[in-house]
Structure formats: structure tokens, C-alpha cells
């Protein structure tokens, strides 16, 4: 029987994690995965009331919801827009930014429990099968496309993440799965994301191609941010993790699967528009 524990502090919550327990924030990603038997846990640790909330200057509490962020004038445009364009109003009211960064892949084979590489198997069913929505970069081991608009915006904004153990750049939160380790984040099982810190930015934008106008994961999401030291471009929906481009020309290095070449052209168009908007 699944247990729910409600610790008194974030420290106590982190201490209760690991060994078959999982952090529960808004539950919008985790609860369906538990229900469908894709993720297993003996105990859920309710962290939503314990996580820092709200926005304090350049710091965002990991418990802040996407709905709070999309309307806050302190939040840079790229992140506000990434939140506004994500999911549905109901989900944005429940879903936290910390949980968004850690959401699982939407690869339909993975969600249908095919014994694919990300589930520990030895095949990528998407590469061999239906993969229209899949990755155009780093897709040789697992071709899933990272679904977080928010993570791409934070990567372009060069955000830093503070956890219960350390501080790290947002890029270092993610890793590509490989034969030896199928994890796609570097977070330890007993590590909590507490805060996100944003460096100053002069202008930023997030553009998103979707298969319908609302309530749709990014087919391709493009975030661009201009600072005093240069411009950063990051993409959602194009690689198993949020993907940083060295520049627009980097798209020439994409390795699309037979039915994902269209994403390269969509990315090219959105990157051009995003750079024009922040120039």
C-alpha cells in the first residue's frame, strides 16, 4: 500500500527520500505515472508545502507554480512565455517549476511500457518505429524529445539550481542516458530542488511550435536570451535533454531520424525569429 508522509521541513523531506520514496509536488506528472505502474514507490513525501515558493528578485522557489510565474513581471519574458504556453491552466495551477524540470519523457513507447532502452532494455522502439515527434540531436541511444518548455527557457537564461545538496548550472541537471546509466538527470534519489536563480538578462523570448494552439507539448521550442556577454539559444523537443545551440549554424549538425527532418526546418525558422525579436 502506498504511504504518504508529510515532513515538517524541507530538510526532513530530503532525509525521507530515497529507498523507494518519491517527492510529490503538484503530482501532475508523478501521479499518472504511479497509477499506470510506470514509476514505482512505496512512500510519497509531500514536498509542496515545504518548498520555497514565489519570486524574490532573481530567485524562484522550486514550489512556485507555472501559473504564478507566467504573470509575474519580475520573470524574464522567455520564462514567462514558456510557462504560459505549457500544458493547460489547470495543470499550470498545480504544476511546480521544480517538478516541471524533472518531468518524464512523453515518448509513447516509454509511456506504454515497451521494454525500451530508457526502461533498461536494449532497443529504442521509437528509432525503429513511429518517431515523428522525436529528437533531432543526440538520438542514437534514446531518441526521446525533452518535453519541458521551462527547462529550455532556463537553459537560455543560464539559470542555476540550488538543491538540498549543492548548486549547479541548469545544464548540469541533465545527462544523456547511456548503456551504463539510464537516468536523464543527475539528481540523487534523496536530493530536492529548492530554488532557481536567474542572472541578469537584457532581452529574452520563447517561441513554440505545437500541433494545436493550446495544451500541447513542444514539437520545437526555442528560447533565446541576450545578456551583456552575448546571446544564448536553447531548444525544447529536439533532444532527450534540453539542448543548447552554439548558434543558428549548429542546426546543420542535427542528425534527424527518417521522420523528424521537419523539426530541423521548424527550429531554423523559430531560431531566426527569436534572434530577430531580441536583437
Give the residue with the Cβ less far from ligand SF4, 106 or 162.
Answer: 106
Binding ligand FAD by CB under 6 A: which of 52, 61, 76, 99? 99
Give the residue with the Cβ less far from ligand FAD, 127 or 270.
Answer: 270
Binding ligand FAD by CB under 6 A: which of 52, 70, 103, 233? 103
Which of ligand FAD, ligand SF4, none lies near 152, with the C-beta cut-off 5 to 8 A by kind?
A: none
How far is it, in rounded angstroms, from Cα 115 to Cα 110?
A: 8
Cα-to-chain-centroid distance, residue 129 = 24
How far is it, in rounded angstroms, from Cα 131 to Cα 145?
A: 10
Element holding 169 (H helix, E strand): strand 167-169
Helix, coil or strand: residue 162 = strand
DSSP code for 103: P
Which 38-97 positions form the footprint of ligand FAD (CB under 6 A)?
47, 51, 62, 66, 86-87, 91, 94-96
Quick note: the x/- pattern for ligand FAD over 156-195, rule CB under 6 A, is ------------------------------------xx--
- β-strand pairing of 160-163 with 43-46: unpaired
Query: For the chain, how are helix, strand and coil distributed in percent, rounded to 5?
Result: 30, 20, 50
Which of ligand FAD, ligand SF4, none lies near 256, with the C-beta cut-off 5 to 8 A by kind?
A: none
Give the residue with the Cβ less far from ligand FAD, 127 or 177.
Answer: 177
Closest CA to 109 of 87, 133, 86, 85: 133
Q: Kindly list the residues in this chain that would bind ligand SF4 in the complex (CB under 6 A).
A: 105, 107, 109-110, 116-118, 124-126, 134, 142-144
Cβ-proximal residues to 270 (8 Å cutoff; 6+ apart), any chain: 207, 208, 209, 220, 222
Minimal distance, residue 5 CB to ligand FAD, in Å: 13
Minimal distance, residue 36 CB to ligand SF4, in Å: 15
Q: Which residue is nearest to ligand SF4 (CB)?
A: 116
Give the residue with the Cβ less far from ligand FAD, 76 or 95.
Answer: 95
Residue 108 burial by Cβ neighbours in a 10 Å radius (0-12, 13-18, 19+): middle
Minimal distance, residue 209 CB to ligand FAD, in Å: 12
Quick note: the x/- pattern for ligand FAD over 205-224, rule CB under 6 A, is -----------xx-------
By CB under 6 A, is residue 15 in contact with ligand FAD? no
Q: What is the dihedral of CA 65, 242, 183, 19, to 10 degrees?
A: -20
Q: How many CA atoms lie within 13 A of 146 on its CB side?
A: 31
Binding site for ligand FAD (CB under 6 A): 22-30, 47, 51, 62, 66, 86-87, 91, 94-96, 98-100, 102-103, 147-150, 192-193, 216-217
Amino acid at each position: 500500500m502506498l504511504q504518504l508522509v508529510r515532513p515538517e521541513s524541507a530538510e526532513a523531506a530530503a532525509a525521507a527520500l530515497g529507498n523507494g520514496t518519491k517527492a510529490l509536488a503538484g503530482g501532475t506528472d508523478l501521479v499518472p505515472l504511479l497509477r499506470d505502474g510506470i514509476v514505482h514507490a512505496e512512500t510519497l513525501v509531500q514536498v509542496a508545502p515545504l518548498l520555497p515558493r514565489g519570486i524574490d528578485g532573481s530567485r524562484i522557489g522550486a514550489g512556485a507554480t507555472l501559473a504564478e510565474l507566467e504573470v509575474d513581471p519580475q520573470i524574464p519574458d522567455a520564462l514567462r512565455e514558456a510557462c504560459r504556453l505549457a500544458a493547460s491552466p489547470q495543470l499550470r495551477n498545480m504544476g511546480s517549476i521544480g517538478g516541471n524540470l524533472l518531468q518524464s519523457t512523453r515518448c509513447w513507447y516509454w509511456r506504454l511500457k515497451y521494454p525500451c532502452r530508457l526502461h533498461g532494455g536494449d532497443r529504442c522502439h521509437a528509432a525503429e518505429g513511429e518517431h515523428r515527434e522525436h529528437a533531432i540531436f543526440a538520438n542514437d541511444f534514446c531518441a526521446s524529445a525533452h518535453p519541458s518548455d521551462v527547462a529550455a527557457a532556463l537553459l537560455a537564461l543560464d539559470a542555476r539550481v540550488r538543491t538540498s545538496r549543492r548548486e549547479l548550472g541548469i545544464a548540469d541537471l541533465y545527462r544523456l542516458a547511456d548503456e551504463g546509466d539510464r537516468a536523464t538527470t543527475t539528481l540523487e534519489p534523496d536530493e530536492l530542488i529548492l530554488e532557481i536563480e536567474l542572472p541578469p538578462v537584457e532581452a529574452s523570448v520563447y517561441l513554440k511550435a505545437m500541433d494545436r494552439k493550446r495544451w500541447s507539448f513542444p514539437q520545437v521550442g526555442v528560447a533565446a536570451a541576450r545578456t551583456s556577454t552575448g546571446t544564448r539559444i536553447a531548444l525544447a523537443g529536439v533532444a532527450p535533454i534540453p539542448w543548447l545551440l552554439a548558434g543558428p549554424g549548429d542546426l546543420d549538425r542535427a542528425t534527424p531520424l527518417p521522420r523528424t527532418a521537419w523539426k530541423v526546418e521548424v527550429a531554423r525558422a523559430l531560431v531566426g525569429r527569436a534572434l530577430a525579436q531580441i536583437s
